[in-house]
Every structure is written in C-alpha cells, then in structure tokens.
Structure 1
Amino acid sequence: MPEPLAPALDRLRPLLLDTEGLVRAVASGRRRREHPDPVRAELRPVELRAGRQLQITGTDGRIPVTRNHSPQEAGAAVDELLAQPFGNWHVETRDQVVQLRVTKRGEAQVHTSAQSVEGGEAAHDRARNHLIDPADRLFTVLGADGAKRRQVDAFLRQLAPIARRVKPEGRPLRVVDLGCGNAYLTMAAHRYLAAEVDADVQTLGVDIRPEMAERNARVASEAGLEGIAFRAASIEEAAVDPEFTGVDIVLALHACDTATDDALALAVRWQARGVLAAPCCHNDVQRQLQSAESIPFAGLTRHAILRERFADVLTDTIRADLLRLLGYRVEVVEFIDSKHTPRNALIRAVHTGSAPTPRRVREYTDLVASWQVDPALAARLAPEVDAVLAAGAPE
C-alpha cells in the first residue's frame, strides 16, 4: 500500500548509515518533472586505512565520481541523497532487501523481503579461479560489483599472455592506456601485471578530462597501487610528448569512433609490441557507407540498423587487416559476454615484424575499393601504409 514519502525515506536513513549491516544501496530513476543530481548513486561500506567508511559513487550519466565518507561525514552525505528526487531506492542489508518506489502521486511504495548474504555472490566468488581475488582492496575502493569483477577477469585473461610474450629484459614493462576513463580496467591490469607477470611495471593512464586524471590518481593511492600514474592529455598530445617512449603495451578500451584509430596509429608509431583495443561506435565508416553511390550488395546498408551493424564489422575488419600489413599478428575476439556490454569485440595484436604478402595486400585494397571507404586508420598512418602497400603489391 502507498504511504507518505517522507517517513518512508526516514526509515532508509539508518540502514544506509549502518556500515556493518549495509551490503549495497542504489538510488536511481527520477520523479515526475524532476531531475536528481547525480542521476544515479551507489552506496557501499569499504574498509580503508582510515577505518570503515561509506563509499558513495554518483554519476551524471557520463562521469562517475566516488567519495569515501567517515562516520562523522556520512550522515550529511546520506541526507543530501535522500533529499534528491530519485524515483527508486534499492537497499540491501545482511538480513533484508528494501525496495522503495515513488509513485506518480509522490507517495512511497515499499517492499521488504528477508535475505541472507551467506551463499550469495561473495561465496560464489571465493569458489572461482579469479585472476585477482574478489576481496582485493582495489575492488573495495573502486566499488566494483560482481559484474564489473567479471569484466576485469575476462579482460585480464586476454592481456596476460600478451604481457608475458612482450615482457622486456632489463627494464620495466611499460603500459599506456589511451582514453582510460574511470580506469578500473587500467588499475586492475596494473595490479595483476605487477603481481603475476613482472614486479616492475609502469602504467600510465591518459584521459583528456583533468577531473578524471585527478580522480583516478586519488583512487589508485587509496588502493595502494604503486608505479601507476595518470595524465590529462589528448591522444594527439600524447603522440608528441617525449615522455612516451619505450611503450610495450597499448590499451584502448571503448575509445569512441575514430579515437580508436588514433590510439592504434599511436601504438604503431610507438612500435608497441602488444595492443588491446575494444572499439566503441563506428560512425565514420557508417557515414561513408550511407553516402556511397555504388557499392556491392546495397541491401546490407539500406536499413539503418543493418548499416550500423555492418559498419561495425567492416571497420574492425579494416583495422585488423591494416595491423596485419604493418607486421602484427592479429586476432579479433569476444572478451566478455554481450549481456555485460554490446561493445565486446577486442582487437588483440602482437608485433612480429612479418612482411605483408601480395595476397594480404590485395585483400585489403579490394576490400576498401569495393566498399568505397577511406579508413581513418590508413589516413593516420599514410606513410607507413603506402610503403607496405607498395612493397607488397603484386607484380
């Protein structure tokens, strides 16, 4: 039965502040004609050097911001969230789940059910062979749930064999993540590589937003990570920065549209031996297909949804072919189930230095000519691509 909203929210407050009993809470959605700020918030208790605190991660829909609150500060932070016009609250404690939904009339519809955390996700995690222990302090600081930990584990299983293969002798393994965003994969990769592959790993996360670089540096410090740093810079700025030398592995995870091409081109210019890129959006090729006057099998691009999906396949095929021509052994794999993210293709490449064969050159040139596309990656690497096409062209 609906009930007045204010007392229903008041009953949530002690549950949210009980860091011994709280498991997780999420505030989301919005009430009619109102807009909460942040648009979504997640609360969970964390164990830090300063003691047990309440971690609140809020997002505006684009950038997550995580803050840890001491017991003295938590009350005011929780009150601010309860005052926001969220449409839904989901609160899990060790013995109950409380779900509060705000109705169109502005009343509260509350449902409470009993639960036990024993035998839940945490117990399941302990039984699995994780590359990073789910109890690792890194996940606590990041506020990573089971889904995010599974993404980390899947990504590390793709990274680990490449890291072992390209590990240099006599100097640290150098990893650069271009467009690192909130950097949870960057930090997880650094944690794993430092522990399992090379005790001396230097990782640099690059993101164009200064606030993300500052946030990531703070989180890395709270997690006790050493040898990792973050810079606020564009990929173009990184390309001319003399600090970026001797890079062994380049990561580019969900860099949008041609930003993936920028990252791949930079990896080639740096002569990085290992590359892992998970592309996101393929608007450039999609626009070219839409404007092309005469292309084969036009039905593949006639409908918008099919054109979008085909552009994804064509773009990543071209990227893989170009890397092969430039001396990389390339695989395109699915690194995580699509239920976690639809952008789950991963371009995985290791530099071998092999010269292109005439057949590979012909495959590439026929592909781009048939579909009348001008690949962004080829434009970024025009001198290198022109040279290998000329050297490998059939006589």
Structure 2
Amino acid sequence: MEELKKAIDEIVKQEIVKVVISNRTNKDVEYNKINFTLKETNKKAYYQIEKYTDKQVFHENIDVDYLGEKLLEYIESNYKQIGAWSTTTTFDLKISKKGKVFLGKKKNDNVNLVNKSHNKEKNYILKEGMMIQPLIDLGIFTKEGKIVNSKYDKYKQINRFIEIIDDEIKKNDYKELTILDFGCGKSYLTFVLYYYFVEIKNINVNMIGLDLKADVIQKCNDIANRYGYKNLKFELGDINGYKYNNKVDMVITLHACDTATDYALYNAIKWNSKMIFSVPCCQHELNHQMKAESLSILTKYGIVQERVAALMTDSVRANLLESLGYKTQLLEFIDIAHSPKNILIRASKANIPNEKKEKSLQEVEELMKQFNFKPTLFNLLKEDKLI
C-alpha cells in the first residue's frame, strides 16, 4: 500500500493529461478499464472519468487535486496497471501478482496528446475577437472582444441558442426576414440576434421586440438607436392581443410564463410563420388540471406531477405544431445544471404527411382524455377551427 501510494504521488507531481487504469485483478471487478482525461473550461481544470463495463460507459468529474486519491481508490486490489501521460513524460505503473509495484517512465514527445481547452476550441458562431457591442455591454466580452472568464458559461449558452437558429437559417438563402420577439424583456439576446442576422448572415431583417413594460420598451429602443440597429424596434403590447397585419417569417418567445407561450405559438400559427423558436417557462396550467385514474402514480407525488405536467405541456405543444404542418423538435437549450428550464421548441414549416398530422393530434387528444386536462393552445386552435 505504501509503495503504491508513493508511486502514484510521483506520477501526480506532474500535470497529468491522461490516465488509463486497466488489467483487472479478476472478472468480478465492475469496470473493464477506467480513463481519466484533463479538461479545462473557463480556466477551471478538472478530470473527466470514463468507467467502462461491457455495455456501458459511466462518467464522473473530479477536481484536479483529487487525482492521486482517486487513482489509489480505484487501483487498489482491483487493477494491475496504470498508464499515465503528462506533456513531457509517459508513466507505466504495474503491480505484480505478489503486490510489488514497478514504475517505469520515459520522455513523452507527444506534447499534444490531449487538447485540454476543447470547449474554447469549438467553432462558435459568435467568435472571440468580434466586436459585438451587446456582449460587451453584458460583460461577456471585454472592450477588446475577449471573453470574460467568469462569463464563459453564459457565452456558451448564447452561442447554443444562435446555433439552433442557424441550423434552420442555413437551409435557405434568405435575403430578408420579418421577426417578432415576444416577451423580449431587457435581455440583450434580441440585440445579439440582430447582430447575427445582419452582420454575420447579411440578411435584411425587420425585427420587433414586444414587452408589457413601458420603461423596458423605452430603454431597449434607446439602446437600439445607440447601436445603430435601424431595423430593430420595440413595442408595448400583450402577447395575447397583439395584432400584426404583415407577413411574419419567424417568431421567437423566450421564457414567456405559463400560457403566454401558448398565445405566442397560436399567433405564430395564425401568421403562418416559417420558423418558431420557443423556450417555455413556468408550465403551471396542466399541473393544476391533471387528474388520472389508471396512471394515478404520476399524480400521486407533487414533485413528480409538476415535472410530468411540464414535459406533457411541451409535448402537447410540439404535437399540435406538427399536426398543423410544422416539423417540430424539442431540444436541450442549455445544460440542465445551469437551469431546469432547458427545453427549446424548434418548429419549421414543412411538408408533413397527413397521416402523421392526424396521429399527432390523436396523441394529444388521448393524453387529454387520460389526464383530464384542456391545454390553452389546443382550445385556441379548436375555437378557430384550425384543428
């Protein structure tokens, strides 16, 4: 034990970028092998552990300071070999049948063995070095266009949203777009989107942000003028009763609370919008209505009912959109570790077969019958005889 600890201590004195634990002592040891890989995000280093069985891989992250302790925990009495690599040295630790420890090491010429900063190497659409004033004002970029380390997660989240939109935009050669952003609030994301459309995609956009607070609208219009975003306007209005008589190519609704999302989707459908991007929030409606007999286990526990109701709400919305000719996806918007409200509905007009449309609507009606609820979006579409 002391000999093994001493050998591991010698290994972890260096900056280890990769470790492979292998050669099980017997078949009862749970994992065939265990890999450690050094990662860096937002200037914070950690090790990602991958534990392999015959059919699965289990993941775990640990702080860099616990590498030695974790290696000792895993290898003791379970494995006979460790391969470890730093940027300068390769280590080969072996344990004999009698428990004797042998540590070999040699110079490692492959200094690029592991790309630690893999996240920052990603080809983001909003690149570091671009002078994006909204990101500077948000404190995500410095005045020189460099990413502020403490804001790196927010930088990734914004890029993720832009990527989800870009996946649709690049399918067509759009020259101009009319975009409505419901419940824009005082978030700078609307300004970032305008920058993306105009400066990166070279699309002539007419963009309108809608919110209920007069002071927010005034402030946002002032900022748009300061940025020189001449085709970005903000208006006072309610999602429910908002009227717009011209064509609408895209509707965006982020964190519109509870049934406000339904009214935004309803309007988008009525306008025959080509694209819809919605991040719902606070889905309370179905949670208050849900009652079930044959599946009462899902309504027996409050926390389970709340989460199931939220997922059902977005499933119903997605199915209703599909029943009306939209190719619809539910995507992870941001990592659930940062926010539980991490589902984004992406819908685009498409040639959906009639059988699929009918099945989508039937699935909604069956769910409504099973749990005795009446979703707002369903009611709105039914009243208008759209379904």
Normalising by the smaller structure, the TM-score range is 0.5 to 0.7
Pairs within 5 Å for 1:199-278: 199-238=203-242, 240-242=243-245, 245-278=246-279
* Gap regions ≥5 residues in structure 2: 1-116, 141-150
For 2:162, the equivalent position in structure 1 comes to: 156
Task: Give the drift of 1:168.
Answer: 4.8
Could you give the per-residue CA deviations for residues 16-42 of structure 1, whole angstroms, max 9, x where no partner exists?
xxxxxxxxxxxxxxxxxxxxxxxxxxx
In 2, the alpha carbon distance for the partners of 1:160 and 1:173 equals 13
Distance 1:303 1:166, change over 3 A: farther
Q: CA deviation at 1:375?
A: 0.9
**Could you tell me how far apart the structure 1 residues matched to 2:120 and 2:157 are?**
16
Q: In the alignment, is the contact (CA less than 8 A) between 1:300 and 1:306 conserved in 2?
A: yes
How far, CA to CA, are the matches of 1:233 and 1:343 in structure 2?
Answer: 25
Report if the CA contact (8 A) 1:325-1:355 is conserved.
no
Contact 1:126 1:134 in 2 (8 A): no
Pairing 1:1-395 to 2, within 5 Å after superposition: 127-135=121-129, 136-144=132-140, 145-165=151-171, 168=174, 172-238=176-242, 240-242=243-245, 245-289=246-290, 292=291, 294-354=292-352, 356-357=354-355, 358-384=358-384, 386-388=385-387
Question: Conserved in 2, the CA contact under 8 Å of 1:166 and 1:273?
Answer: no
Q: Which letter maps to 2:237? A: A
Whether the 8 Å CA contact 2:212–2:237 is kept in 1: the answer is yes
Structure 1 residues 126, 320: closer, same or farther in 2, change over 3 A?
Answer: closer
SS in structure 2 opposite 1:285? helix
1:133 to partner: Cα distance: 3.0
* Deviation string, structure 1 residues 204-235 (Cα, Å, up to 9, x no partner): 11111111111222223333433211111111
Q: For 1:115-166, what per-residue CA distance to the aligned partner results, in whole angstroms no more than 9, with x for missing partners?
A: xxxxxxxx99975432123442221123333332222101001001222346
Q: Distance in 1 between matches of 2:360 and 2:193?
A: 33
Q: State how many pairs are aligned.
A: 257
Following the alignment from structure 2 to structure 1, what is the Cα–Cα distance between the partners of residues 294 and 224? 50
C-alpha separation in 2, matches of 1:264 and 1:320:
10
Deviation, structure 1 residue 353 = 4.6
- Which residue type is aligned with residue 246 of structure 1? K
Task: Name the larger-Rg structure.
Answer: 2
Greater Cα offset, 349-358 or 314-323: 349-358
Q: Cα offset for 1:337? A: 0.7
CA distance in 2, matches of 1:200, 1:344: 30
Root mean square deviation, CA, Å: 2.2
Deviates more, 1:303-312 or 1:220-229: 220-229
- Asked if 1 retains the 8 angstrom alpha-carbon contact of 2:320 and 2:360, the reply is no
Q: In 2, Cα distance between the equivalents of 1:288 and 1:167?
A: 44
Q: 1:168 to 1:269 in 2, by over 3 A?
A: farther
The alignment partner of 2:329 has SS state of strand
Aligned partners of 1:226 and 1:375: how far apart in 2?
A: 39
Letter in 2 for 1:261: D
C-alpha change, 1:316 and 1:202, in structure 2 (3 Å) is same
**Alpha-carbon offset, residue 360 of structure 1:** 3.1
Whether contact under 8 Å (1:332, 1:347) holds in the other structure is yes
Gaps of 5+ in 1: 1-122, 389-395
Relative to 1, partners in 2 of residues 1:137 and 1:258: Cα closer, same or farther, differing over 3 Å? same
What SS does the corresponding residue of 2:230 show, helix, strand or coil?
Answer: coil
Offset, 1:345: 0.3
Percent of matched pairs sharing the same residue: 29
Closer, same or farther in 2 for the Cα pair 1:166/1:181, shift >3 Å? Answer: farther
- Structure 1 CA distance for aligned equivalents of residues 301 and 196 of structure 2: 44
Secondary structure at the counterpart of residue 273 of structure 2 = coil
Against the structure 1 CA distance between its residues 235 and 359, is the aligned structure 2 distance closer, same or farther, given a 3 Å change threshold?
Answer: closer
Opposite residue 263 of structure 2, the aligned amino acid is D
Q: Distance in 2 between matches of 1:387 and 1:137?
A: 43
Looking at structure 2, the residues matched to 295 and 126 of structure 1 have their Cα atoms a distance apart, in angstroms, of 51
Task: Tell me which amino acid in the other structure corresponds to 1:279.
Answer: P
Deviation readout 1:287-329 (Å, 9 max, x if unpaired): 001xx3x433111111111111011111011101100101100
Q: What is the Cα deviation at residue 279 of structure 1?
A: 0.6
Q: Structure 1 length as normaliser, TM-score? A: 0.61
Larger helix proportion, structure 1 or 2?
1
Which residue number corresponds to residue 46 of structure 1? none
Q: Within 1, Cα distance between the matches of 2:276 and 2:171? A: 12
